[in-house]
A and B are shown apart, each in its own frame.
Chain A
Amino acid sequence: GAVVSQHPSWVICKSGTSVKIECRSLDFQATTMFWYRQFPKQSLMLMATSNEGSKATYEQGVEKDKFLINHASLTLSTLTVTSAHPEDSSFYICSARDQGSWVGYTFGSGTRLTVV
């Protein structure tokens, strides 16, 4: 079945630094991937849609210059949190859908970011 790999699983960084999170579709190609953020006891909130070979589409209220998305290949999308602040601490999850099968949306295992 469709597998999405996300790395790292968790990361602790200092305020002001940047963190890159990778999302890979392992056994299928994904022209579109999605990035979500989830705060404790809250729902998943879509941040942006990553499009292979073109610019990402950001949801309202999400700063594109702060959350840089690159989707350079059909199997890899990256999210870079730039100049991280403690309020960016959250659970970041990517997802993709294998268009060739009806398995819904597959999620990466998530990245727990803590900014200190």
Chain B
Amino acid sequence: RKEVEQDPGPFNVPEGATVAFNCTYSNSASQSFFWYRQDCRKEPKLLMSVYSSGNEDGRFTAQLNRASQYISLLIRDSKLSDSATYLCVVNAVGRDDKIIFGKGTRLHILP
């Protein structure tokens, strides 16, 4: 099982719709979780950290399910500018400060 797995997509979603991504991780001892956004040919940028109780930032909601070892990202009222690749990131347990990236899920918001 891969350390961090995501559905690669692409997800083609009409503008204004709600879209959800899931990500699973293999190491139950992982403690830090993040969602990053990467635009084409650009560096990843932190979208939000994921907290145990779940957290929301505007149209974005992140959830963590430790029992099932998955995290999710929900985007409401999607905008054209949300088109990007969304990367699930988990800390590498016992490997200092390293983090592990999922392959990313590509999202295309359609006008």
Of the residues A91, A93, A104, contact of B34 by C-beta under 8 Å: A104
**B interface: dominant SS:** strand
Known contacts A42-B103, A43-B102, A91-B41; decide if A104 and B97 are in contact (CB<8 Å): no
Bitwise interface map of B from 71 to 86 toward A, beta carbon under 8 Å scored 1, else 0: 0000000000000000
How many interface residues does chain A have, given as a range? 20 to 34
B46 partner residues in chain A, CB cutoff 8 A: 103-106
- Evaluate contact between A43 and B42: CB separation under 8 angstroms: no
Answer yes or no: B59 CB below 8 A from chain A CBs: no
Chain A residues 81 to 111 lying within 8 A of chain B, measured CB to CB, are: 91, 93, 97, 102-110
B66 partner residues in chain A, CB cutoff 8 A: none
Which partner residue on chain B sits nearest A33 by CB separation?
B97
Answer yes or no: A67 CB below 8 A from chain B CBs: no
- Evaluate contact between A43 and B43: CB separation under 8 angstroms: no
Interface residues in chain A, defined as those with a beta carbon under 8 Å from any beta carbon in chain B:
6, 32, 34, 42-44, 46, 49, 91, 93, 97, 102-110, 112
Interface residues in chain B, defined as those with a beta carbon under 8 Å from any beta carbon in chain A:
34, 36, 41-46, 49, 87, 89, 96-104
